[in-house]
Chains A and B, each alone.
Chain A
Amino acid sequence: MKRNVWWGEYELEIGDSGHWEIGSLGLWMEREASEWKMAYSWNDDEDPELWTYRRNESFPDAGVQGERFAVQRTGGTVKLRAVTADRSVVARPRTPFRVPSGHQTRILVSSPLWVEIAVGPEPAYLRELPAKRLSETWFGSTTRDGELAYALKTNARTRLEDLPMRPYRFVTPIVIENEGPDTLFVERLNLPVPHLSIFGAGEALWSEEVRMLRSEVGDVAELDVRSGPPQEAKKAALLSEPRLAFEKGHLFRAFSSLLRL
Chain B
Amino acid sequence: MRDFLTVFFSLDKIVVVSKALLLVLAGLLVARLLSRGLQRLLENRLDRQRVVLMRRITYYSVLSLFFVAGLHQFGFNLGVLLGAAGVLSVALGFASQTSASNLISGLFLIGEQPFAIGDVVQIGSTTGEVLGIDLLSVKLRTFDNRFVRIPNETVIKTEVATLTKFPIRRIDVQIGVAYKEDLDSVREVLCQVADENLMCLDEPKPLFLFQGFGDSALNIQFSVWVSRENFLELKSAIQLDIKRALDEAEIEIPFPHRTLYAGSATRPLPVEIVSSAGEARVI
Contact = CB atoms under 8 A, between A and B. Distances in A.
B199 interface: yes
A183 interface: no
Sort chain A's interface into a size bin: 10 to 19
Contacts of A261: 204
B204 A136 contact: no
B191 to A, nearest CB: 13
A259 B205 CA distance: 10
A92 B167 CA distance: 22
Nearest to B230: A136
A135 B200 contact: yes
Contacts of B197: 135
Contacts of B227: 136, 148
Contacts of B201: 135-138, 151
B202 interface: yes
B11 interface: no
A135 B203 CA distance: 10
A151 B203 contact: yes
A27 B202 CA distance: 27
A182 to B, nearest CB: 23
B203 A134 contact: no
A259 B203 contact: yes
Interface string B198-236: 111111100000000000000000000111001000000
Q: Main secondary structure on chain B at its contact with chain A?
A: loop
A144 interface: yes
Contact of A134 (B166, B168, B195, B198): B198
Nearest to A256: B203
A139 B203 contact: yes
A243 interface: no
Nearest to B207: A261
A136 B167 contact: no
Interface in A110-151: 133-139, 143-144, 146-148, 151
Contact of B202 (A44, A133, A137): A137
A92 B203 CA distance: 11
A151 B168 contact: no
B166 A136 contact: no
A201 to B, nearest CB: 30
Given A144-B166, A148-B167, A151-B201, 6 more contacts: A133-B198, A137-B201, A138-B225, A143-B225, A147-B167, A259-B203
12 contacts: A90-B203, A92-B202, A135-B200, A136-B199, A136-B202, A138-B167, A139-B203, A143-B166, A147-B167, A151-B201, A151-B202, A151-B203
